[in-house]
Amino acid sequence: MRIAVLAAAVLVLVAPPAASPQVLVPYVPTAYEVVDRMLALAEVTKEDVVYDLGSGDGRIPIAAAKNHGARGVGLDIDPRRIEESRANAKAAGVESLVEFREQDVLTADISGATVVTLYLLSSFNAQLRPILTRQLRPGTRIVSHAFSMGPTWPADKVDRFTTKTGDEITLYLWKFDGKIRP
Ligand SMILES: C[S@@+](CC[C@H](N)C(=O)[O-])C[C@H]1O[C@@H](n2cnc3c(N)ncnc32)[C@H](O)[C@@H]1O
């Protein structure tokens, strides 16, 4: 259901306004139940630094901090989302553990991550693949909601489940092996 919402929104954004050409993935938040499952799949602990690439309202880094004691970094290209995320972090009492940066993830430094979370699109994941594999350290876990990395980089684990509201969800987990992938 949510994938359909995201796909429909993408159709609207196929020809984005000239002022925001990089925003090819619209804002559709991951349900909190799914956020919890993504962080559990990555086995997030307080030792982790969780980067959400395209972080929306900040719910994934905030949940990583609040529920697991991890540090969180959210990157989003939309300044409204960054402002909202900072307010949400303050309301959740985790301002000291999380940071939000207005940035294009395709040009960002993500080398500090021990866990990366994604809810983007297959085409966007394909663009991210060389960036992730050049920057991340071996052992970094990557969790993607709904979208794979393509046939050249199969997931190490796939978690399929139905939410309480009846949405069918697929999550993909990779434990980065250090191999550069174009
Ligand atoms: C589908 S939403 C996911 C939000 C959040 N990660 C979640 O799961 O709830 C995708 C987000 O990516 C952001 N985004 C799109 N293109 C981006 C880019 N090039 N760099 C950074 N953020 C981007 C959008 O503004 C949007 O907030």
Using only C-alpha atoms, what is the Rg of the chain?
A: 15
Instruction: Give residue ranges with CB within 6 A of ligand 1.
Output: 6, 22-25, 27-30, 52, 54-56, 59-60, 75-78, 81, 104-106, 119
**Nearest residue (CA) to ligand 1, atom 27:** 56
Distance from C-alpha of 29 to C-alpha of 46, rounded to nearest angstrom: 24
Q: Do you know the residue count of the chain?
A: 182
Instruction: Give me the chain's average pLDDT, please.
Output: 91
Q: Which two tokens stand for residue 147?
A: 């979208």
Residue nearest to atom 16 of ligand 1 (CA): 23
Quote the pTM value.
0.92
Pocket test for ligand 1, best of 3, 5, 78, 98 (most atoms within 8 A of CB): 78
Beta-carbon neighbour count of residue 11 at 10 Å? 8
Taking CA atoms only, the protein residue closest to ligand 1 atom 14 is: 54
Question: Which residue's CA is the closest to the ligand 1 atom numbered 20?
Answer: 104
pLDDT above 80: residue 7: no
Q: What CA dihedral angle connects 150, 35, 115 and 47, to 10 degrees?
A: -160
Domains with residue ranges and CATH for the chain? 2-175 (3.40.50.150)
Burial class (CB in 10 A: 0-12, 13-18, 19+), 108: middle
pLDDT at 24: 77
Alpha-carbon distance of 16 to 114, in angstroms, equals 33
Summarize pLDDT for 113-125 with one digit per residue, the tens: 999 999 999 999 9
